[in-house]
Amino acid sequence: MNIEERLLEGSKRACGRLITMLENNEKEAIDILKKLYKESGKAYVIGITGPPGAGKSTLTDKLTKELRKQGKKVGIVAVDPTSPFSGGAILGDRIRMSDLALDKDVFIRSMGTRGSLGGMSKATWGAIKVLDIFGCDYIFIETVGVGQSEVDIVKTADTVLMVMVPNLGDDIQAIKAGIMEIADVFAINKSDLDGADKTKVEIEMNLDLNEYSDYRPPVIKVSAGQNKDIDILLEKILEHRGYLEKNNELEKIRIRNNKLEILKMVEEDLMKLILDKAVKEDLIENLAREVTLRETDPYTARDEIIQLITNN
């Protein structure tokens, strides 16, 4: 059997191979996804994000085990930071879920960011499609440890789970714009530590500043290390899914996400086309020198590059 048939039959090896091909930008992988895309659209994507050390991997592990109790097939994409110097990544998130690797209905894939900003890898979008076709009911996307502006996960996930921990910083951290605004569910992990109740109050106060109609993000205290209240957290995540489906919001989210993905792919290919042409003709080098010598300006240089492409 070829890789397409094996993927449809649930082969983990075929699944992993196809994701690797996508990471390496192999044309064959894109062709396979084009053929099999109609088989996707069944999986529900849950994004898990939060600051470094919040316990995202452990929480993902526990949530997966809860879903497995319900007989669900689960895919996990764990994104780890890539060194800006060597280009390497430890991919340690998978180590924390090693016992799940033996489960035939759980597929875990670690991938490095490879210089991509926003807390995710460029190959994440493709990996989601592969896992969907593979037959996963739920797909977890665990981002790298993020700060206040890495919000790419909202462009990918159906439900975004924000993982916080007590005593991260001063009170104002809880109301900073950006990452706090994308969550559909808040989980305060390591809730056995002092300050968990205070953190919960701060997040609730932040939510009070916004106007909500039918749905207000719940704030749940959990302890992934002690496997405490994970079932309650999963229940809230599934409640959000129910809300989206009942109010026809899920389709709107997916249309928005697909629109953003299409634009992102077009942007990347156009940029590659421009750079390949400009570099080949030493245009950028020459323009940079002219701008430095004040023989031209950056705006005229930009216009020359665009004109070069449009003329071709």
| Global confidence as pTM | 0.86
What is the rounded distance in angstroms from the CA atom of residue 240 to the CA atom of residue 234?
Answer: 10
Taking a C-beta distance cutoff of 8 angstroms, is the pair 143, 120 a contact?
yes
* Cα separations in angstroms, 249 against 129, 158, 205, 216, 238: 21, 10, 26, 14, 14
- Look at residues 11, 40, 15 and name the one whose alpha carbon lies nearest to residue 29: 15
- Among residues of the chain, what percentage have pLDDT more than 90? 51
3-state secondary structure of 76: strand
| Residue range 41-84, pLDDT digits in tens | 999 999 998 888 888 989 999 999 999 999 999 999 988 766 54
pLDDT at 118: 47
Under DSSP, the state recorded for 54 is S
**One-letter amino acid for residue 194 of the chain:** D
With 80 as the cut, is the pLDDT of residue 312 above it? no
The kind and range of the H/E element at 44 are strand 44-49
Neighbours of 14 (CB within 10 A): 21
With 70 as the cut, is the pLDDT of residue 1 above it? no
Under DSSP, the state recorded for 85 is T
With 50 as the cut, is the pLDDT of residue 110 above it? yes
Categorize the per-residue pLDDT at 242 as very low, low, confident or very high, splitting at 50, 70 and 90: very high
Categorize the per-residue pLDDT at 131 as very low, low, confident or very high, splitting at 50, 70 and 90: very high
Taking residues 171-198, report their average pLDDT: 76
Number of H helices, E strands in the chain: 10, 7
DSSP per residue, 93-104: GGGGGGGGGG-T
What is the rounded distance in angstroms from the CA atom of residue 56 to the CA atom of residue 142?
Answer: 7
* Placement of tokens 């020359």 in the chain: 304
